[in-house]
Amino acid sequence: MRDEEITVEECLNLENPLFIDLRSPSEYQEATIPGAINLPFFNDQERVEIGTIYRQQSPCQARARGLELIAPRLPELTGTIGSYARERQVVIFCWRGGERSQAMAGVLHLMRIPFYRLHGGYKAYRRYVLDQLACFPRGEVVVMHGLTGCGKTQIINRLLERGYATVDLEGLARHRGSVFGSTGMGCQPGQKMFDSLLWCELKRLDPWPYLLVECESRRIGNIHLPEHLSQEMEQGRHILVYDNLENRVQRLVQEYVSNGEENIEQLIQGVRALEKYLGKSRVNKCVYLIEKRIFSEVVEYLLVNYYDKLYEYPSSPDKRYELCVNSEDIDEAAFVVADYLEAQYGTKG
């Protein structure tokens, strides 16, 4: 019979854990332990109601109302957890390891269902993640630089597929880091969820002597990179990816508008956000071209007159970088980067 409390580090070392988040759907949506499923003890409205009773009346009355609300759902909730516990090591948690997880633990104990309860709840997990991000990654960071549209993210993803130690930071953040960064990417995760996803990746790659990432500023959309990672990126090895303007334009058109009509309004909003840099008349011209689906002309103008000037990366080999890679052929470029990593660190993946 298992019903003991377990620390964050202990639960992360379980052989086959299943995290069950007992918090409300909105709490779960904001951030949770990656891979956790949501079996809410109370829904959002019930949680607000109980909190109001707790503050305005008394804790005792709040508990009584909570029991009234949860009692009809306990058989189904307990049965669901019991079915999971037959295959996995169940770890239940709430916000601080308080009354929701304690109450659920009492019922599971009564029904002889094996489980663990996370000591300190999600708050303890969040604190643990932040502590870990203050010292990870521990290997050397290799940073890939290059002008917009040269295919850095595509190279990263090719190397991911082949098992190299790399993280797609923009993919985790669901943002490409520019005014067009969210186009076609969906909603960004919150900072807490991003941190958890990043920590999972860094933990997975910890045995490696290096970590390859694309160059990013400290901020990606609404997400901020951990300070330690940013510092290691500045101090690490630096490689350059370059390609001609025509290929970059074609690559960006395919990346930003291949998903169809739903991206048009986002593209227009992105262009309008550049009005103070480009001028109103030029922005209106770009908007007109987007509406007419003449994307290549808009992209080329923005690259030449804004993005290339902003980032100032070389468009050809440069001695300031340890490796310079032509990305006209993305697969070939990925092989070149892979060869460099193996030569430097003596491992493939």
Q: Is the CB of residue 188 less than 8 Å from the CB of residue 182?
A: yes
Averaged confidence pLDDT in the chain: 90
d(CA 323, CA 340): 8
Of 17 and 68, the structure prediction assigns the larger pLDDT to 17
CA nearest neighbour of 344 among 137, 135, 139: 139
Q: Say what percent of the chain tops pLDDT 70.
A: 94
For residue 71, name the pLDDT band (cuts at 50, 70, 90). Answer: confident
Sign of CA dihedral 112, 115, 121, 122: negative
pLDDT for position 271:
87
Q: How far is CA 187 from the centre of its chain?
A: 11
| Mean pLDDT, range 103-122, rounded to an integer | 93
For residue 1, name the pLDDT band (cuts at 50, 70, 90). Answer: very low
Q: Domains plus CATH for the chain?
A: 5-131 (3.40.250.10), 138-345 (3.40.50.300)
d(CA 303, CA 39): 48
Sign of CA dihedral 107, 110, 113, 115: positive
